[in-house]
Amino acid sequence: MTTTIDLVSYEDALASYDPVMGLEVHVELGTKTKMFCGCSTELGAEPNSQTCPTCLGMPGSLPVVNATGVESAIRIGLALNCEIAEWCRFARKNYFYPDMPKNFQTSQYDEPIAFNGYLDVQLEDGETFRVEIERAHMEEDTGKSMHVGGATGRIHGASHSLLDYNRAGIPLIEIVTKPIEGAGERAPEVAKAYVRELREVIKALGVSEARMEMGQMRCDVNLSLRPHGREKFGTRSETKNVNSLRSVERAARFEIQRHAAVLNSGGTIIQETRHFHEDTGSTTSGRVKEEAEDYRYFPEPDLVPVAPTREWVEEIRSGLPELPLVRRNRLREEWGISGTEMQAILNAGALETIVATIDAGADAGSARKWWMGELARSANESGKTLDELAITPEQVARVSKLVSSGDLNDKLARQVIEGVLAGEGTPDEVVDKRGLKVVSDEGALTTAVEEAIAGNPGIADKIRGGKVAAAGALVGAVMKATRGQADAARVKELILEKLGVSEG
Ligand SMILES: [Zn+2]
């Protein structure tokens, strides 16, 4: 059932209310085996081919905890500045769902492995916003239901449903923020920036590829409004399984407008889960939200408590890689760019390609210039991402070297890049095939200059008479004659020399 409501404009909503958000992100770990059994986690296998009595919840089967899963959870906790529990247990979260064969999910309840942390995230203008982390806990994924026979793939209208338990038992880490207050109109932007930063952290840690479009990372957006000046939180809605950065931002924005509309009309917000729809950017009602007590959590009797020694935790901490924000700040300083410039690089998805181009020998300035200029435009026009373009960081580095050695000027370099993108070969092959090299042969240049002077006697006279600015026309003539392959500054020098005029 969809009920349409007249949304309040975003500005009007913010004029009356403060948004408070809570973000719950599920990350599927990239472990080789499941969280509590030895079944493979590889994607794309035949349905139900990666199951065993444990992950199918058969009587008598016993779970064993995946040590790599625990280590990954600790790595995530440490990267999020959390405290790591000295002793914690798994719990059973009891509910029935067809794709959950045990009728409970093995999760953690009041004893999470990691708690009390924070993640600093960067907003579009380069400003930093601190998001506090309540907890990060270990759990397992459910299987998958497929509803067949209907038009939409949804259960409504389907003739039957199929179940695939390959995903049941894949390790998940759920990361829950504390209420995010004080972001005001930037709340949706903060939500997006948080999920993006978290994704970068997860990738840097190597614990998951965190590909949102593959469902390896998904975000539940909890949102409520409260009138300005009021302490008490309003009733929240929970928009489930939002699976792109853009959707996280849009879902938060839509819910702010919807809540304001309901509250302004004197209605009450129902605590419920909601679904986000990519096509319309709107959410619709799911089910009325259960309270924690409805799940009858109790400690899992079949698993031993997890008690990571302090030595192990410190060993893991010392093995953490440089974290994304720290790395970006370091690169920003090394490259001498501003926070907004770095943000633009991130938005363009260009950071890693630029780093790779510098690693391949280009200087930072030209690596940035090509990827953020010519190549970003080309990607934009062809609807591709930068790493889908038919040019590698090594090739861009080669072009940049040819420019710094004086073999190419910028104009020619653009043509070389164009040739590489068009599949004409490597930069050097394009240079050869198209005959693109700066004419640095003085003899050839001198001839071209003499011809230009002979062909434009009026202009030459003006220059002789002291109008040095008129030399531009002759430079243009030489550049045209050499198809842009001359060094313009050198051409100008030669012209003035020939005409016996000095620049000053
Ligand atoms: Zn299994």
d(CA 451, CA 470): 16
Q: What percent of the chain has pLDDT over 90?
A: 76
- Using the mean position of ligand 1's atoms as its centre, give its distance from the Cα of residue 165 in Å: 9
pLDDT of residue 313: 98
Mean per-residue pLDDT, 275-289:
89
Cα–ligand 1 centroid distance for 142 (angstroms): 12
- Residue 2 scores a pLDDT above 60: no
Tell me what pLDDT residue 47 has: 96
Between the CA of 37 and the centroid of ligand 1 the distance, in Å, is: 5
Structure tokens at 50: 């990666």
pLDDT band (50, 70, 90) for residue 1: very low
**Domains in the chain: boundaries:** 10-316, 348-434, 442-499
Average model confidence (pLDDT) for the chain?
Answer: 93
Question: From ligand 1's centre to the CA of 143, what distance in Å?
Answer: 12
Q: How far is CA 140 from CA 37, 90, 148, 159, 436, in A?
A: 11, 11, 26, 29, 58
Lowest-confidence range among 35-49, 150-164, 427-441?
427-441
Q: Which residues pair with 428 in a beta bridge?
A: none
Out of 192-201, 289-298, 417-426, which region has the weakest mean confidence (pLDDT)?
Answer: 289-298
At 52-105, the pLDDT tens digits run: 999 999 999 999 999 999 999 999 999 999 999 999 999 999 999 899 999 999
Q: From the CA of 357, how far away is ligand 1's center (Å)? A: 43
Q: How far is the CA of 163 from the centre of ligand 1 (A)?
A: 15
Q: Ligand 1 centroid vs 34 CA: distance in angstroms?
A: 7
Q: Report how far ligand 1's centroid is from the alpha carbon of 123 (Å).
A: 42
Retrieve residue 212's tokens: 């949102």
pLDDT of 289: 67
Please say if the pLDDT value at position 451 is more than 60. Answer: yes
The rounded Å distance from CA 141 to ligand 1 centre is: 12
Report every protein residue that has its C-beta within 5 angstroms of ion ligand 1: 37, 39, 52, 54-55
At 504, the pLDDT band (50, 70, 90 cuts) reads low
Confidence of residue 502 (pLDDT cuts 50, 70, 90): confident
Mean pLDDT of 371-389: 92
Q: Which of 78-82, 207-211, 339-343 comes out lowest in average pLDDT?
A: 339-343
Q: Is the pLDDT of residue 458 over 60?
A: yes
3-state secondary structure of 92: strand
Which fold, 442-499? Arc Repressor Mutant, subunit A (1.10.10)
State the distance from the centre of ligand 1 to the C-alpha of 40, rounded, in angstroms: 8
- Burial bucket for residue 167 (CB in 10 Å: 0-12, 13-18, 19+): buried
**Residue with token string 């420019």:** 403
Least confident of 39-43, 168-172, 444-448: 444-448
Better pLDDT: 289 or 472: 472
Supply angle C-alpha 330, 327, 67, rounded to 5.
155
pLDDT at 440: 67
What is the arithmetic mean of pLDDT over 344-354? Answer: 92
pLDDT at 445: 83
